[in-house]
Chains A and B, each alone.
Chain A
């Protein structure tokens, strides 16, 4: 199998020392700490869950969705790149021949076990067809049974992108 070697970053002495970066990080932490200590009334808190967060950005990695083509059919071609990239091995796909002439192949089954998923976004990154995204903004997912955390193809297709993402 062909392997493409991508250049590795972070090889300079400054980066290899780590210490400078750690000091930089600590500086940020402490400046916030001091700021909040001086003025406690200004610390941002919300009464969750009555009050829902409003600052979820479009880059937030929420629960996945399967995207659709212009004709509203599934975009995924069951290439298994996401399942291959997934470190938690929690994407389960079964491929079939696609008969409607739009493409050759599609998933008959596509499920993600959210209890195993680590929300790393690797699947989105790996997809060559932009068929899977994590831009639903769904950050809380509560169910009663383990089985309900395994989202099937149709559920994933029904998820909508959050407002403001493209």
Chain B
């Protein structure tokens, strides 16, 4: 520990860290372009200048090691003047096309200029032009004129993905970011450069022009693309007279799971979520009233009491799993989690992506839900009714002639609705809360509330409706059953951070 004085306030900091890291960690604003915690320092933008007592000239905070007793000023007149000059230089060739730039509203250049800008051009020469809206691959659009040459994107492809698609071409004010001829940006994590780019030089063609960022409401969720369960922001907006819609996912920093990044497949999976929110109840392929369909589920369960088999998806939350278990017990039904579909050997890699595509397979283990094939065969042979939850693979059970009734409760519409006597939609992943255990055994909480325009209920609410009970929150379900199973971790703890489970 070291003690330093920043703007006349003493703070305690780690002594082996870089100055900028500790200043940012203590909530002190230090403008910066090239420094990024995942990519380290580069020292090229000079935006992070601070005044250090005893040093003649301003120093860059991103390449200054901490020394005990340092006295630092971040807001003095001379520092503000330096920042203003650097920004003036950044803007010499900048097109200032904020009205058409997607980054406006979350742009570092814009934000810093708001604080210390000159607001008055002293320039009479023409600007150096660059290429605009160039598709460089992987849904990334490059605008060379807006670039501040911080090289974050170059360092990302060099150090993180090691694919090295991007580089700086030419010298002086003709320097531009570019790809190599015939070698577009293409790696499974490429779209992270859009978040990394502090300005609007790299934007996403998938998000571009669909929504201004200041309208978006970021919910903190967990990606359900695979069993890694990366932390993400779910940016959604309910425009006037329109339905709540998800516009993008962004990585949310979580040092225990995904660090600063997510994969492109996960990032683009929001589209499925949007589509699934239109699902509606069906009886043998015909649209049905929601309440009538729920009533029908109750009648079917009563008729086949003791002869039903619940088949669970390994992507349900822990809360949903215990609730369905309770429902199965009430109707004396069997329950199984055997599943081969949520697995894709081609998806996984050695970074974040995992071949197990389910979000909570370890939950089966924890909650004692059987997922052995042999047991499923035995249960299926003795059942009359099959209830698939969160999955759509009823066709695999055609050979069991004893199963006369098939029901599906799922977020997405069934591929062939006629094979189900009843289809009941449930809320999608991003429209409800829940706890999940990822592939590395981290217990995490997911809370997103993308609104529904329809009557569709969450799976937990469907269970309580069927059992004619009051609807219960995650807290209620933890108090009732999960706290006695997960003894050393509480729901409130995982709301703050992901916690590794020791007992798995």
Contact = CB atoms under 8 A, between A and B. Distances in A.
Interface of A: 1-4, 77-81, 84, 89, 92, 95-97, 103-105, 128-129
B100 A4 contact: no
B32 to A, nearest CB: 15
A121 to B, nearest CB: 19
A92 B241 CA distance: 10
A77 B212 contact: no
B209 A2 contact: no
9 contacts: A1-B105, A1-B111, A3-B114, A95-B210, A97-B208, A104-B132, A104-B133, A105-B209, A128-B99
B212 to A, nearest CB: 4
Contacts of B100: 77-79, 103-105
B56 interface: no
B133 A2 contact: no
Contacts of B132: 104
B114 A97 contact: no
Contacts of B97: 104
Contacts of A1: 105-106, 111, 214
A165 B93 CA distance: 35
Contacts of A77: 99-100
A84 B214 contact: yes
B114 A2 contact: yes
A2 B240 CA distance: 25
B407 to A, nearest CB: 40
B115 interface: yes
B113 interface: yes
A150 to B, nearest CB: 11
Contact of B98 (A95, A97, A128): A128
A89 B242 CA distance: 13
B110 interface: yes
B212 A2 contact: no
B111 A89 contact: no
A97 B209 contact: yes
B209 A4 contact: no
Interface string B260-301: 000000000000000000000000000000000000000000
A2 B99 contact: no
Nearest to B132: A104
B16 to A, nearest CB: 33
B99 A129 contact: yes
A77 B95 CA distance: 15
A105 B111 CA distance: 22
A96 B209 contact: yes
Contacts of B111: 1-2
A128 B113 CA distance: 17
A109 B210 CA distance: 12
Contacts of B105: 1
Contacts of B212: 79-80, 84
A27 to B, nearest CB: 40
Given A1-B106, A79-B100, A89 B240 contact: yes
A4 B212 CA distance: 19
A61 to B, nearest CB: 23
Given A77-B100, A95-B209, A96-B209, A4 B114 contact: yes
Contacts of A89: 240
Interface in B200-225: 208-210, 212, 214-215
Return the 4 tightest CB-CB contacts between A and B, nearest first: A2-B114, A79-B99, A2-B111, A95-B209
Interface string B98-125: 1110001110001111110000000000
Contacts of B106: 1
Nearest to A116: B240
Given A2-B112, A77-B100, A79-B98, 4 more contacts: A77-B99, A84-B215, A97-B208, A97-B209
A80 B209 CA distance: 10
Contacts of A96: 209
B98 A2 contact: no
A80 B111 CA distance: 18
B243 to A, nearest CB: 15
A104 B212 CA distance: 15
Most B Cβ at <10 Å: residue of A4, A104, A105: A104
Nearest to B214: A1
Given A79-B100, A95-B209, A128-B99, A2 B110 contact: yes
Most A Cβ at <10 Å: residue of B133, B208, B209: B209
Most B Cβ at <10 Å: residue of A1, A84, A96: A1
A2 B214 contact: no
Interface string B77-101: 0000000000000000000011110
Most A Cβ at <10 Å: residue of B99, B104, B112: B99
A41 B133 CA distance: 67
A129 B28 CA distance: 35
Contacts of B98: 79, 128
Nearest to A89: B240
Contacts of A81: 99
A72 B240 CA distance: 31
Contacts of B115: 2
Contacts of B210: 95
Interface in B109-167: 110-115, 132-133
Nearest to B102: A105
Contacts of A128: 98-99
A3 B115 CA distance: 8
A81 B105 CA distance: 11
Interface string B167-182: 0000000000000000
A4 B117 CA distance: 10
A80 B133 CA distance: 20
Most A Cβ at <10 Å: residue of B111, B115, B240: B240
A82 to B, nearest CB: 11
A77 B97 CA distance: 10
A79 B209 CA distance: 9
